[in-house]
A and B are shown apart, each in its own frame.
Chain A
Amino acid sequence: MKGVAALLAVACYEARMAARGRGVWIGMVPMAALALLVGMGRLDGAESARLNAGAVAEALTLVVPVGVGVVLADRLRRGTAAGLGDLLDSVPLRGAARIGAVLAGGLAVALLPVLPVTAVLGAAAAVRTGDAAALPWTALAFLVVLLPACAWITALAGVLALVLPAPLARAFVVPAWFWAVAWNPRLLWAPTPVGTLLVPSGEYPAQAWFGTTPSWAGNGQVGWLSPAADGTVTGLANLACVLLSTALLIGGARLIMMGKR
């Protein structure tokens, strides 16, 4: 219980610091506008509210995590500034848990401009389909499709910025995201998680709980890692893989930060 309170306190502190600096959420405002454009393009009132919510969330997951990763890349790095590490180690929360809380606080602020966009898209879906259930479906799609992807890219960007200069890490986040979710290995071969259970693109959860038709899921390069998207089992397995790789990235960040001190 005490650990949870400390976790929340660190996350809240980081969120307040990020919100005060204003760079994080102002940097996400153009991306939120782009997300509105992308999401509106995917809305068609012909289908059910549930399907619309899933399709919109899947489209948002292609672009929004890029902005999140770029904006949050230096969040962990600033914790390694001279002397700050000792100070931060005095909070009653050690190791990887603190890194997770730091990233969660930044992520919450970065997603602030995306929240109203999601609400607008949910309302638009409700109007187009004439079904008020589109609003809760869109909120659910935000939680299970978009949020895990953003957590994954935040951890990846944090680790990249620990081993590379921050501008270079920002430059790497963009191709890394498209390599992870949209690389077409048939056009130009490269080892990529696209189509496998490891992919953070949210295709498996969107198929499992919103009934969308995945474009890549099940067509990965490793047969046993890319089962056909088939309901709750593959959806949960994909979510578990994405959250596990996020945890591994956070653990890696912890090791790098310990090595630097």
Chain B
Amino acid sequence: MSARTLVPPALLRYEARHCGMAAPALLAAGLAGGAVTAGSPPAAQPALAAAAATGLAGLASLAVIAVLARTRALELHLSLPVPFPVLLARRLAVVAAALVGAALALGAGSPEAAASAAAALCPAALLSGVALRVWARRHSPAAASGAAVAVWLGYALFWAVHVPPAVARPAAAALGVVLIATALGPRAVPERVVEEGR
């Protein structure tokens, strides 16, 4: 990333406005999940905390798709000096900040806050990576959401159940980082737009 990726606060505020309600909604979901988990009977708490963490991860990927779907006038962005991947990275950073806040709020009530936050953040990286990658390829919110939800259920029903967390979470996070990095590479611009613009 070059020097022009340094983000002044005014620009960050501008990009946050362009993200719409996705980031505040994510934060609110984290706060609500933490409050419900803390206020529920102790017998239900472990199951609820796990469901809330996985649920937040899925919500994060849908928030990413909501932000991506709001990047209109792609041809205009392509003509600006800021590379399109940098623009996407700035907006996704806003979502990521909201996600970290939500994950911390989720685990605030429980004794192992760090583990609870990791349970949400690691799958969130994977699911956001899947959503971003599919969107970069197809430029379709429906396809990206369908893929993210399928991977979400696969993670919750199979991967997280059969693989111990010490392996499952870092593996998901690593795969997610790879997916995000490749999606924000030179291929970040939806190929359909490039083809149409040629």
* Interface residues in chain A, defined as those with a beta carbon under 8 Å from any beta carbon in chain B: 21-24, 26-31, 33-34, 37-38, 63, 66-67, 70-74, 165-168, 170-171, 174-175, 187-188
Contact = CB atoms under 8 A, between A and B. Distances in A.
Given A167-B22, A175-B55, A23 B140 contact: yes
Contact of B145 (A21, A33, A71, A175): A71
Contact of A23 (B21, B142, B153): B142
B76 interface: no
Interface of B: 21-22, 25, 40-41, 43-44, 47-48, 55, 58-59, 62-63, 65-66, 69, 134, 138, 140-147, 149-154, 157-158
Most buried by A among B22, B40, B41, B150: B150
B21 to A, nearest CB: 8
B59 A171 contact: yes
A69 to B, nearest CB: 9
A63 B146 contact: no
Contact of A27 (B25, B69, B145, B153): B145
Interface residue SS majority, chain B: helix
4 tightest A-B CB contacts, nearest first: A27-B146, A23-B140, A167-B66, A30-B150
B140 A22 contact: yes
Given A27-B140, A27-B143, A187-B44, A33 B150 contact: yes
Contacts of B138: 22-23, 26
A70 B55 contact: no
Contacts of B144: 27
Contact of B150 (A34, A167, A175): A34
B149 A166 contact: no
Contact of B47 (A29, A72, A168, A187): A187
Contacts of B158: 37
A188 B149 contact: no
Contacts of A63: 153, 157
B13 to A, nearest CB: 22
A174 B149 contact: yes
A188 B62 contact: no
Contact of A30 (B21, B65, B147): B147
A167 B65 contact: yes
Contact of B141 (A26, A29, A34, A167): A167
A167 B62 contact: yes
Contact of A28 (B40, B43, B146, B154): B146
Nearest to A188: B44
Contact of A188 (B48, B55, B66, B147): B48
A65 B141 CA distance: 18
A31 B150 contact: yes
